Structure 1
């Protein structure tokens, strides 16, 4: 391939970004296809399709004979990650209980960071081998965990919520009882959960659940505001990718080089920094459900922003001192390196899990995977864009790159605080009630939420069913008058929501 150095490294920064971004380009489209397939044929069978694309992509990448073939193979591998992300993560949310859904979700990202660490140290281990083996073997190795996933899929339970949405009630109840601790179908816990599930399923397929209508701002969704939810899921992922994580994790060795460390030590520290993410993600299980999603994110943005500003400042002063005071330069470079670890700890403990779980929680069951595809699109688009520009930024801006990403953390704080309702410790069947106000502000949506719960006598199932009847035009008032449910049902039952505050 053109512009590859004698050590097997692509030397052109634009080409570096393009080769990496092709993977995310595939993910941008794999997520929509995977969301449709996951809702259509189920979580387990949808995963099989995603695994197939991944193994195919790994084989083609490792066997590539030119840049064009490599890019096409990266796109195919990206289709796989789009499929897998959009199916696995909603699947975990659907199986977990509301009080510890975040803690269960954190286990997924412990596995995620273990995979990142294995990949990094694998590349570190083969760095002195022949050029071809150095890049082909790690790409081929990607097929091994996919084969393990394929082998374990038959032993995993299908989502009981997906089964119920497809009318397979006996199988759904059986699995739900099993994963809740071998309970009886008559157990009050099971009865309550099934009652809420029954209340939130549409009686027939609705136009609002079609992908084209969600893309067009949530047409036909009325007070469910599905278009807003699509934008929120996409934006939250975009925000995460632009607050510096890829500049820290993906380009850690380059950062350490800027801080004055030699090539070997830069690579070694980069691997250690990635490894540090494993205990950080494990620690997320302790806070994600107690603090909630929004507060966790705000904490992460504050500390990440400070860490990035300090990294940039220490790198700059280390470079300035390199010629005149080498000992001082080393101390300043070490200080910069230490804040890389601070950043990774707070990112993994307070940011990664809430960002990824939020998009799985806010969607109605019958379109959860399809809706979550907008979140994965945001991840793929945001990651692809940042991976493309980071090598260029590091080449052109150097340490100033980290000032930029630090500033993005400051920008992110008010967006999340004022526009994203807290979803921790709420049942998935409760989520529709959190987005009924026409206002984007959390405060107005929470007023509407509490009003609807109060009017339903505190019963979430009743409030959820009334909301769907209102949107679908199935309430008694609408049937009697033939009018628009949003004009009559809301006016009669929810007048308080429209009163001036």
Structure 2
């Protein structure tokens, strides 16, 4: 069945769209800073001495746990996001995530022993991955379809900005001669979520959430803030109509596994994020100093190389904003993973042959391979995955679904919810629990062969995504169901709706003429 798509004759983009996405990207920055600050913290001699990691026999295990439990916290935390997004709204969910990030940052900075540090790395991971999930949900639901990729990719650029400033702040405090120099960079991670909490009152609530709660007038008001009058009138009618259908559809976690088309979306979401994580990005980021140390560089040089790598990543992430809407999502993701795999093949070959040598050109080439790698990752993958995840699921599953309801009912607790976006973000956490927990031991014992754990599955993922994954580029969120064969879930329309639509367009045209 062909879908007749409405296209506004007016400009969808307006400057308020950009302003609100940039403001909300402080949440994205919160995740980026929180996830990356551990790299410089583990390179701080003052931190290693204070925590006894320079003398403990189990130091490698403790370092692995500091990274691994952060991801475990994220994996568990993302499944609570939908409770807040569905019950109280997208903005409230983001506020809760920001508060957890602030709380965790304060207690990480005040840690007095490895046990306390590990506990609050866990809560920090929960808050960071919750906000990583909540912000793109909001972004996807408020930006216009035509500019959705460009605007949502600002989320990815903001993540990278958080990565970048964490590295340079960590590098700056490395030169401070104090046994507590490591605390300030950890405390600084509270600043982006604090700024976000101050800006949240200025941000609109998702019109889709408002219509889910039958707050029609508020939704209409927000849509008029977000889009041109003609586009706002159309979206209001389209979303309202689709909501009538969505309310009749099951939204439990079980149905996401039982119904073939929903199951396909779940597998695509997990396949996308897990495939991208096979690139090994967080291993390179979090253990960058260890990797550069294996190539013979001292600590100051390790931090400079890591800072340069992250700065290049930020620049490429900004360029990625202008690339994301130039080609189909799966093609872009497949090409990006393939480019990363080529770089890791070169890296593995160089490390295998020259890691213990004094061959300066070969060692510099190994560093260059990491730098070329991050160009592919940031221009093709980082922001694209969040736009793609937000587009895969319909509204009633994007921010709603029951998780293990039988278990929580037996225990007498309230229902726990999972979102379509959360499934993808949980995939990121799950993969990184494996990689980050194993990496220190793997590099110590098998060296360059650990890269094969990324290269082989990553290459297969690149081919699979490129050839077989569906494209959602430019498709209105209310029409995604047709891609997966759920045409029966699309609002069919009737004569009365067509009359109302005509009235809305006429009203919009009158308004435009009056303003113009």
Q: Name the TM-score, length of structure 1 as normaliser.
A: 0.79
Determine if the alignment matches structure 1 residue 153 to structure 2 residue 205. no
Tell me how far apart the structure 1 counterparts of residues 319 and 457 of structure 2 sit (CA, whole Å).
25
In the other structure, the counterpart of 2:437 is: 388
Determine if the alignment matches structure 1 residue 199 to structure 2 residue 199. no
Tell me how far apart the structure 1 counterparts of residues 267 and 152 of structure 2 sit (CA, whole Å).
22
SS where residue 53 of structure 2 aligns? coil
Determine if the alignment matches structure 1 residue 333 to structure 2 residue 363. yes
Change (3 A) 1:204 1:427: closer
Structure 1, unmatched stretches of 5+, are: 438-451, 453-461, 468-501
SS where residue 399 of structure 1 aligns? helix
Aligned partners of 1:55 and 1:146 also within 8 Å: yes
Segment of structure 1 superposing worse, 382-391 or 122-131:
122-131
Determine if the alignment matches structure 1 residue 465 to structure 2 residue 491. yes
Tell me how far apart the structure 1 counterparts of residues 204 and 96 of structure 2 sit (CA, whole Å).
17
In the other structure, the counterpart of 2:299 is: 263
In the other structure, the counterpart of 2:133 is: 86
For residues 358-394 of structure 1, give each alpha carbon's deviation from its aligned partner in whole angstroms, at most 9, with x where no partner exists.
1111112133232211112111112222111112221
Question: Which of 296, 318, 326 is matched with 2:332 structurally?
Answer: 296
Q: Name the TM-score, length of structure 2 as normaliser.
A: 0.77
In the other structure, the counterpart of 1:306 is: 342
Determine if the alignment matches structure 1 residue 374 to structure 2 residue 423. yes
Aligned partners of 1:237 and 1:356 also within 8 Å: no
Q: How far is the alpha carbon of 1:150 from its aligned partner?
A: 0.7
In the other structure, the counterpart of 2:4 is: none
SS where residue 209 of structure 1 aligns? coil
Segment of structure 1 superposing worse, 258-267 or 425-434:
258-267
Point out which structure has higher relative CO (alpha carbons under 8 A, 6+ apart): 2
For residues 62-94 of structure 1, give each alpha carbon's deviation from its aligned partner in whole angstroms, at most 9, with x where no partner exists.
222233322221222222123212211111111
Tell me how far apart the structure 2 counterparts of residues 42 and 265 of structure 1 sit (CA, whole Å).
46
Determine if the alignment matches structure 1 residue 422 to structure 2 residue 458. no
Q: How far is the alpha carbon of 1:231 from its aligned partner?
A: 3.0
Change (3 A) 1:466 1:417: farther
Tell me how far apart the structure 2 counterparts of residues 411 and 336 of structure 1 sit (CA, whole Å).
24
In the other structure, the counterpart of 1:401 is: 450
SS where residue 105 of structure 2 aligns? helix
What is the number of residues matched between the two proteins?
Answer: 425
Q: How far is the alpha carbon of 1:252 from its aligned partner?
A: 2.0
Change (3 A) 1:172 1:5: closer
Question: Which of 354, 369, 381 is matched with 1:351 structurally?
Answer: 381
Aligned partners of 2:157 and 2:318 also within 8 Å: yes
Q: How far is the alpha carbon of 1:135 from its aligned partner?
A: 2.8
For residues 457-491 of structure 1, give each alpha carbon's deviation from its aligned partner in whole angstroms, at most 9, with x where no partner exists.
xxxxx971259xxxxxxxxxxxxxxxxxxxxxxxx
Change (3 A) 1:131 1:85: same
Tell me how far apart the structure 1 counterparts of residues 52 and 177 of structure 2 sit (CA, whole Å).
12
Determine if the alignment matches structure 1 residue 273 to structure 2 residue 320. no
Q: How far is the alpha carbon of 1:239 from its aligned partner?
A: 1.9
For residues 418-445 of structure 1, give each alpha carbon's deviation from its aligned partner in whole angstroms, at most 9, with x where no partner exists.
44200111111111112228xxxxxxxx
Question: Which of 161, 165, 174 is matched with 2:221 structurally?
Answer: 174
In the other structure, the counterpart of 2:276 is: 240
For residues 46-67 of structure 1, give each alpha carbon's deviation from its aligned partner in whole angstroms, at most 9, with x where no partner exists.
1111111111111222222233
Q: How far is the alpha carbon of 1:206 from its aligned partner?
A: 5.4
| Correspondences of 1:8-87 after superposition (within 5 Å) | 10=53, 12-87=59-134
Segment of structure 1 superposing worse, 253-262 or 156-165:
253-262
